[in-house]
Chains A and B, each alone.
Chain A
Amino acid sequence: VAVVELEEQPGLRLLTNIVGCPPREVAIDMPVQVEFVERGAVFVPVFRPTT
Chain B
Amino acid sequence: VTERFEQSCIISGIGQSDVGRRLTRSIMALTLDACVGAIADAGLQPADIDGVISWPGAVSRAEGLAPSSPGSSGPGVHSVIDALRLQTNWHYAGPETPGMLASVIQACMAVASGMCRHVLVYRALNEATAWRRVAERISADSEGVTGAMQWMLPFGAFSGPNWMALNARRHMHEYGTTREQIAQVSLNARRNAALNPKAVLRDELTLDTYLAAPMISDPLCLYDCDIAVDGATAVVVSHVSHAADSPNPPVRVEAVGSALHGRASWDQWEDMTTTAASSAGAHLWSRTDLKPSDVDVAQLYDGFTVLTLFWLEGLQFCGKGESGAFVEGGERISLHGELPLSTSGGQLSGGRLHSFGHLYEACVQLRGAAGERQVPGAKVAAVSAGAGPLASCLLLTSS
Q: Could you tell me which residues of chain A, from 18 to 42, have a CB within 8 Å of some CB in chain B?
A: 23, 28, 39, 42
Among the stretches B30-38, B148-156, B299-307, B341-349, the one at the interface with A is B148-156
Q: Which of B142-175 contact A (CB under 8 A)?
A: 151-152, 154-157, 162-163, 165-166, 169-170, 173
Q: Given that A1-B157, A3-B267, A28-B169 are contacting pairs, would A23 and B152 also be in contact in the complex, using a CB cutoff of 8 Å? A: no
Interchain pairs with CB closer than 8 A, number: 35
How many residues from B make CB contacts under 8 Å with A?
Answer: 20
Residue B268 is within 8 A (CB to CB) of chain A in the complex: yes
Q: How far is the CA of A13 from the CA of B169 in the complex (A)?
A: 16
Within B253-275, the residues touching A (CB, 8 Å) are: 266-268, 270, 272
Which single residue of chain A is at the shortest CB-CB distance from B268?
A13
Q: Which residues of A contact B162 (CB under 8 A)?
A: 1
Nearest-CB residue, chain B, relative to A2 = B166
The answer to whether A15 touches B157, judged by C-beta atoms less than 8 angstroms apart, is yes
B55 to chain A, nearest CB (A): 25
In the bound complex, do residue A1 and residue B272 qualify as a contact, i.e. CB atoms below 8 Å apart? no
Residue B338 lies at the interface, judged by CB distance under 8 Å to chain A = no
Assign chain A's interface to a size class: 10 to 19
Residues of B within 8 A of A15 (CB): 151-152, 155, 157, 163, 166, 266-267
Min CB gap B170→A, angstroms: 7
Q: Besides the contacts A3-B272, A15-B157, A15-B166, what 15 more A-B pairs have beta carbons closer than 8 Å?
A: A1-B156, A1-B165, A1-B217, A3-B166, A11-B270, A14-B267, A15-B151, A15-B155, A15-B266, A15-B267, A17-B155, A17-B156, A28-B169, A28-B170, A39-B154
